Structure 1
C-alpha cells in the first residue's frame, strides 16, 4: 500500500510539474496568474502571501483529508502554466492595468477567458495523470484503479472538448475588431471583504445529465464564468455565460446574487467556495479571524464532497459568520 501511494505521489508530482506549452502557441508557458498580482491579489495579501486551497499529498491525505487551506506566496498564488510570456503580457494587457474598467465587455471577457483556460489546463493535466496511472506497471493488476483511471480520462476528455468550444469562440472575439458579444455578463458590487475567485463552473443536474448525455459530443455543457475581483473600496462579482448555452439554473443563480444582505452574501459565498469552485483565495489575516468550528465544517464538507459536481449540493454553515 505504501509503495502504491509513493508511486501515485510521484505520478501526480511529475505530471503537475511538467513543462507545458502555451495554450495559444508552441512556446513554453510561464506561471500565469488568474488575477493580477498588482492591483488585485495584493489587496488581499499579507506579507506577500494569500491563503487558498492546496491539495495534500497522498500520505497526509489519509489523516488530514485531500485538501488543506494553506498560505501561498503571492508569486505562485492562483496561478497555472497557461501562456507564454508574450501572450500572457499582450493578450491580457487591458486588465493588467491597476485602473482596469470592469464595466467593459472586453475586460469581462478576458477575465472569463483566463478562468476557462485554467480549467482547461487542469483537465489536460488530469488526463496526463490518469494516462500514467493506466500505463504504470505498478498498477497493472489493480483492476479497480485501472478502470477508475480510464473513467477519469474519458470524463476529463469530454470536459476538454466542451471547454475548447467556448475557448474558440472567446478567442475569435478577443482577436476580432468587430465584437460580436456572444457572452452575457452581469457585474455586481459588494462591500469589500478580502477574498478573490476566478473559475469556470458547469452545473451538473443529475436528472438531466446522464452518462449517455454527457458522452454525446454534440451536447456541449452549459458553463458559467465566475470572477470575484477585490478593489480598493469594494468587491466586484462578474458572472458570465454564452448567450446560447444557458438554462434556468444559470439565470436564477445569477439573479440570486442580487440585493443580498451582508449575512446572505457571506452564506452564498460559503456555498460557492464549498460546493462549486476551488480557485479562490482569502487574506491570511481574515482567514485567521474565522471561527475554528466554521473552518472545520468547511474542510470536512470539502473533503467529503470534492468529487461531487451536482447542483443539488447545499451547506448548513456560514464560513464567515
Structure 2
C-alpha cells in the first residue's frame, strides 16, 4: 500500500515530531525541556552498570514507521550520556528539582525521595505517550490523505485515555511534592545487588478490582483513571532497591502481592525482577557483564517471551524463563 510520497511525508513528519521543542513538565515552568533528562541519575546509579567504555545495554522498540521490522525489539549498547534519557525537564528544573536524589545520600525511608523517583518515572511515561499519540495522529492523517478509501485508521482513544490518566496521577503526586499532601502509598525493598535498572508504570488487570477495568459494568468506556503502579529498580551502595508507588484511592493488589512475596522470602526476588523486565517493562538497562553472558538462544528466547506478552496485562504470567539462568 505504501508509495514513495506517503513514506516521505511520514518520515518528514516523524522527524518533526522527534525534533519538536517540548515544555518542561514541572508545573508553571515556561521553559523548554532539554532532550537528555536522565530517568535515573548517572552518578551512583547508572555508573554501577557500565563497562570500561561507559556503556550498557538498553531495550528499544523499532519505529512504527519501520515497515520490515515494526514492533520488534532491539537490545542496543549505548553510552551512559545517551541512554535512559527523555525530553522531560528544563535545565534548571532537571538540576534543582531533583537535587535531593541527585546530589545527596539516598535515604530510602524518606517519603519525598520515593515521591521524586516515582514522579520522574511518571513524567517519562507521560511524555512517551504524548509522543506516541502524535505519531499515531500523523500516520492516521497521512494515510487518510494518500489512501482516502482505506477506513482502518489507528484508534486514538487508548492513547488519549492513557495520557488523561497519567496527567491525573502526575497532578496528585505534585500535591505531595509541593503541598505535602499524602496521596500515594510508597514502598521500598533492599535486595542483593544486581547490575540492572528499570523504571516503569504498569497497569495490571485485577478481576476483583473494577478500577482496573477498561470498561464499566454497562460496557461503556471508563470515566475514572485506571489503577497504575510506578516501579523503579536500581543498584546503590552494594545493594539493589525496588521502589513501588500507587495512589491511596487506586490500590494495586498486584504490587502489594509482589512486595509481600519478596519480603516473605528474598529468594523470590530474582525471578520477580526477571518477570518485570521480561513482561512488564520496556524501559530498562542492564550491564554488559550480564547481557554478554547470554547465549544467542537465550537472547532469542527473551525477545520471543517479550513479544508474545507485549499486550498481556494479566495479574499473573506463568513462565519458567529467567534472565539470570
Counterpart position of 2:197: 196
Matched, 1:140 2:142: no
Does the Cα contact within 8 Å between 2:37 and 2:87 map onto a contact in 1?
yes
Counterpart position of 2:181: 180
Alignment of structure 1 residues 1-321 onto 2, 5 Å: 1=1, 3=3, 8=10, 11-24=13-26, 25-30=29-34, 31-46=36-51, 47-57=53-63, 62=68, 66-97=72-103, 99-136=105-142, 137-144=145-152, 146=153, 149=154, 151=155, 153-176=156-179, 179-205=180-206, 211-213=214-216, 215-217=221-223, 219-262=224-267, 264-321=268-325
Distance 1:110 1:203, change over 3 A: same
Distance 1:250 1:138, change over 3 A: same
1:172, distance to aligned residue in structure 2 (A): 1.7
Distance 1:232 1:210, change over 3 A: closer
How far, CA to CA, are the matches of 1:275 and 1:61 in structure 2? 24
How far, CA to CA, are the matches of 1:239 and 1:55 in structure 2? 25
How far, CA to CA, are the matches of 2:32 and 2:85 in structure 1? 15
Q: Secondary structure at the match of 1:212?
A: coil
Does the Cα contact within 8 Å between 1:206 and 1:310 map onto a contact in 2?
no
Does the Cα contact within 8 Å between 1:199 and 1:279 map onto a contact in 2?
yes
Structure with the higher helix share, 1 or 2: 1
Gapped regions of structure 1 (runs ≥ 5): none
Does the Cα contact within 8 Å between 1:275 and 1:314 map onto a contact in 2?
no
Does the Cα contact within 8 Å between 1:294 and 1:317 map onto a contact in 2?
no
Q: Alpha-carbon deviations, 1:8-57, whole Å to 9, x = none?
A: 55544442332211112231111211100111101111212121111224
Does the Cα contact within 8 Å between 1:53 and 1:70 map onto a contact in 2?
yes
Q: Secondary structure at the match of 1:62?
A: coil
Q: Alpha-carbon deviations, 1:123-178, whole Å to 9, x = none?
A: 1111111111121123433322x1xx2x2x211111111111111111122112xx
Bigger mean CA offset, 167-176 vs 247-256:
247-256
Distance 1:138 1:26, change over 3 A: farther
How far, CA to CA, are the matches of 1:311 and 1:138 in structure 2? 42
Does the Cα contact within 8 Å between 2:186 and 2:243 map onto a contact in 1?
yes
Does the Cα contact within 8 Å between 1:183 and 1:242 map onto a contact in 2?
yes
How far, CA to CA, are the matches of 1:127 and 1:172 in structure 2? 27
How far, CA to CA, are the matches of 1:131 and 1:59 in structure 2? 13
Question: How many residues of Structure 1 are paired with residues of Structure 2 in the alignment?
Answer: 312
Does the Cα contact within 8 Å between 2:175 and 2:181 map onto a contact in 1?
no
How far, CA to CA, are the matches of 2:9 and 2:292 in structure 1? 35
How far, CA to CA, are the matches of 1:106 and 1:233 in structure 2? 23
